[in-house]
Amino acid sequence: MMLEILVLLVCVSILVSGVLAVCLDNLMAAMVSAGLASLFAAVSYVLLAAPDVAMAEAAIGSGLATLIFLYAIRRTGGGKEE
């Protein structure tokens, strides 16, 4: 029962950070939010007994992908409105 509540909490967090990543106007904040969604997904994989997948998701989804977004935002003007 505890585990189910925890999984549901993590799933709600994935949804919230995903929606925030789409809705936020500040690109930097949206990028961090997208990385956060990945990180919560990794936590949910651990809770569902798949640590192998969780490791790859945490390193690639929330680490490398966020960094590539960061470089892209910086190269295209820092996310400032034209």
Q: Which residues bind other proteins (CB under 8 A)?
A: 51-52, 55-56, 59-60, 63-64, 67-68, 71-72, 74-75
Q: How far is the CB of 33 from other proteins (least distance, A)?
A: 18
Which residues, including other chains, have CB under 8 Å from residue 34's CB and lie 6 or more apart?
17, 18, 21, 65, 66, 69
Of 63 and 79, nearer to other proteins (C-beta) is: 63
Instruction: Pick left, alpha or beta for residue 24 (phi over 0 → left; psi -120 to 50 → alpha; otherwise beta).
Output: beta
Of 29 and 55, nearer to other proteins (C-beta) is: 55
Of 9 and 68, nearer to other proteins (C-beta) is: 68
